Amino acid sequence: LENLQPEIKELAQRLRYEVSVRGKQLGWSEKVARFHFARNMRRIVAELYVRDNCHPFKATVLLWVQVPLWVCVSLALRNCSVGALGPAVQEQFSSGGALWFTDLTAPDSTWILPVSLGLVNLLVVEV
């Protein structure tokens, strides 16, 4: 979308000139000329989006999927960690870790998990 902005700006200037010339020929009011400019500009921008396959909705799809998923996972982990699912789950968390984190209910003093999660998240965003 950012790469299209110079082209859109140039096309808007050209279209504004063409609409003003055509409006003077046909005696359009300013309101009618703005209407024709806006309608044609929307059509031109839509054609550019199709040509370059970069509709703005594609940029927000990940957000609409990722936010509800993040909320559900956060709530599930919170319910597990506060014992809302029963004491059996709490016992499994306190003895079911691996590597350097043998107790999943204790804070990570090495900061390895938060840092690695942040790096993986950054990698996903950049890719």
SS3 (DSSP) at 98: strand
pTM for the structure as a whole: 0.49
Query: Tens digit of pLDDT per residue, the chain (127 long)?
Result: 888 899 999 999 999 999 999 999 999 898 999 999 999 999 999 999 889 888 888 778 878 888 899 899 888 878 777 766 677 777 777 777 677 677 777 777 788 878 998 999 999 888 8
Size (the chain), residues: 127
Residue whose token pair is 């509800």: 68
Name which of 101, 102, 105 is nearest 116 in CA terms.
101
Spell out the residues 6+ positions from residue 79 whose beta carbon is closer than 8 angstroms to its own. Answer: 85
How far is 33 from 51, CA to CA, in rounded Å?
27
pLDDT of residue 83: 67
